[in-house]
Amino acid sequence: MTGGAGRSPYVGLRSYQPTDAGRFFGREAESYHMATLWSTHRLVVLYGASGAGKTSLVAAGVRAQLTADDADILPVGRVAQASAVPTAALARHNPYTFALLSSWSPNDPPNHLSGLSVAEYLARRPARNDRYGDPLPVFAAIDRFEELFHDLPHRRGYREQFIEQLAGSINEVPRLRLLISIREDSLARFLPYEPVICRDSRSSFHLLPLDESAALRAVTGPLEGTGRAFGPGVATRLVNDLRTSAFTDRLGVTTNVRADRVEPVQLQVVCSALWDALPPEAAVITDEHLRSYADVNRTLADFSARAVIEVAREHERDEAGLRYWLERTFVTELGTRNTVYEGVSHTAGMPNAIAHALVDRHILKAEWRSGSRWYELQHDRLIEAVRAGNRQSPEPDRIDGRPIDYLRTAEAALADGELDLARKHAQEAVRLAEGDPRIQAEAESFLGDLAFQDERYAEAETRYRRAAELFELIQDSTAVGMLLAAIGQVLKREGRYAAAVADLQGAVARLPGNRSFRVELAHALWQAGQLRGAEGEYGGVLTYAPDEENALTGRGELRTELGEFAGALDDLDNLARLKPAAAAQPAVRAARARAFAELGRLAEAVAEADTALREAQAQATRTQTAIDPVVQWRVAIVAARAGDPARATALLESALGQSAPALMRHQRADARRLLENLTSHGPES
Per-residue pLDDT tens over the stretch 111-140: 677 778 899 899 888 888 888 888 899 999
| Sign of the dihedral through C-alpha 441, 443, 444, 449 | positive
pLDDT of residue 110 exceeding 80, the answer is: no
List, in order, residues 6 or more apart from 24 with CB less than 8 Å away.
16, 56, 60, 61, 64
List, in order, residues 6 or more apart from 544 with CB less than 8 Å away.
none
Q: Are residues 339 and 326 in the same domain?
A: yes
Band of residue 82 on the pLDDT scale cut at 50, 70, 90? low
pLDDT of residue 607 exceeding 90, the answer is: yes
Q: Are residues 269 and 318 in the same domain?
A: no
pLDDT of residue 550 exceeding 80, the answer is: yes
Band of residue 367 on the pLDDT scale cut at 50, 70, 90? confident
Band of residue 394 on the pLDDT scale cut at 50, 70, 90? very low
Residue 411 has a pLDDT of 79
CATH number, domain with residue 250: 1.10.8
Q: Examine the fold and report which residue of 149, 177, 208 is the final residue of a domain before the chain moves on.
A: 208
Q: What is the mean pLDDT of residues 480-508?
A: 94
Q: Are residues 288 and 342 in the same domain?
A: no
Q: Which of 321-335, 382-396, 461-475 has the lowest mean pLDDT?
A: 382-396
With contact defined as beta carbons under 8 Å apart, do 241 and 271 qualify?
A: no
Band of residue 9 on the pLDDT scale cut at 50, 70, 90? very high
Mean pLDDT rounded to a whole number for the chain: 88
Q: Are residues 310 and 227 in the same domain?
A: no
Specify the DSSP class assigned to residue 146.
G
Q: Are residues 263 and 186 in the same domain?
A: no
Residue 184 located in a structural domain: yes
Residue 111 has a pLDDT of 63
Residue 201 has a pLDDT of 92
State which amino acid sits at residue 371.
G
Residue 86 has a pLDDT of 82
CA–CA dist 239, 317 (Å, integer): 35
Q: Per this entry, what is the length of the chain?
A: 685
Q: Are residues 55 and 199 in the same domain?
A: yes
Range list of H helices, 125-183? 156-172
Q: Are residues 168 and 41 in the same domain?
A: yes
Per residue in 315-325, pLDDT tens?
888 888 898 89
Residue 556 has a pLDDT of 97
Residue 154 has a pLDDT of 58
pLDDT of residue 281 exceeding 60, the answer is: yes
Residue 630 has a pLDDT of 96
Band of residue 369 on the pLDDT scale cut at 50, 70, 90? low
Q: Which of 203-207, 313-317, 368-372, 393-397 has the lowest mean pLDDT?
A: 393-397
pLDDT of residue 559 exceeding 60, the answer is: yes
Residue 513 located in a structural domain: no
pLDDT of residue 220 exceeding 90, the answer is: yes
Residue 255 has a pLDDT of 67
Q: What is the mean pLDDT of residues 34-46?
A: 96
Per residue in 423-463, pLDDT tens?
988 998 899 888 889 889 999 999 999 999 888 999 999 99
Q: Examine the fold and report which residue of 186, 208, 230 is the final residue of a domain before the chain moves on.
A: 208
Residue 623 located in a structural domain: yes
Report the number of distinct structural domains present in the chain: 4
With contact defined as beta carbons under 8 Å apart, do 83 and 449 qualify?
A: yes
pLDDT of residue 356 exceeding 90, the answer is: no
Per residue in 564-595, pLDDT tens?
999 999 999 999 999 888 899 999 999 999 99
Q: Are residues 64 and 161 in the same domain?
A: yes
Q: Are residues 175 and 239 in the same domain?
A: no
CATH number, domain with residue 313: 1.10.10
pLDDT of residue 366 exceeding 70, the answer is: yes
Band of residue 252 on the pLDDT scale cut at 50, 70, 90? low
CA–CA dist 367, 184 (Å, integer): 7
Q: Are residues 130 and 61 in the same domain?
A: yes
Q: Are residues 105 and 241 in the same domain?
A: no
CA–CA dist 554, 91 (Å, integer): 16
Q: Model-level pTM?
A: 0.71
Closest CA to 326 of 254, 246, 257, 385: 385
CA–CA dist 121, 285 (Å, integer): 51
CA–CA dist 624, 520 (Å, integer): 26
Q: What is the percent of the chain where pLDDT is above 70?
A: 92
Residue 446 located in a structural domain: no
Q: What is the mean pLDDT of residues 282-287?
A: 93
CA–CA dist 142, 144 (Å, integer): 7
Residue 13 has a pLDDT of 79
pLDDT of residue 548 exceeding 90, the answer is: no
CA–CA dist 358, 310 (Å, integer): 10
Q: What is the mean pLDDT of residues 274-283?
A: 91
pLDDT of residue 155 exceeding 50, the answer is: yes
Q: Which of 13-22, 137-146, 157-166, 325-334 has the lowest mean pLDDT?
A: 325-334
State which amino acid sits at residue 427.
Q
Residue 96 located in a structural domain: yes
CATH number, domain with residue 62: 3.40.50.300
CA–CA dist 281, 275 (Å, integer): 12
CA–CA dist 126, 132 (Å, integer): 17
Per residue in 45-58, pLDDT tens?
999 988 899 999 99
Beta-bridge partner residues of 340: 375
pLDDT of residue 92 exceeding 60, the answer is: yes
State yes or no: cis peptide before 629, omega within 30 of 0: no
Q: What is the percent of the chain where pLDDT is above 90?
A: 53
Residue 262 located in a structural domain: yes
Residue 508 located in a structural domain: no
| Sign of the dihedral through C-alpha 597, 601, 603, 605 | negative
Residue 683 located in a structural domain: yes
Q: Are residues 36 and 169 in the same domain?
A: yes
Question: Residue 288 is part of which domain span?
Answer: 212-294
Residue 383 has a pLDDT of 84
Residue 299 has a pLDDT of 86
Q: What is the mean pLDDT of residues 192-218?
A: 95
Distance of CA 548 to the CA centre of its chain: 26
Specify the DSSP class assigned to residue 133.
S
Q: Examine the fold and report which residue of 153, 173, 208 is the final residue of a domain before the chain moves on.
A: 208
Q: Which of 91-105, 177-191, 248-262, 528-542 has the lowest mean pLDDT?
A: 248-262
Q: Which of 15-24, 105-114, 663-672 has the lowest mean pLDDT?
A: 105-114
pLDDT of residue 158 exceeding 60, the answer is: yes
Specify the DSSP class assigned to residue 6.
S
Q: What is the mean pLDDT of residues 81-102?
A: 77
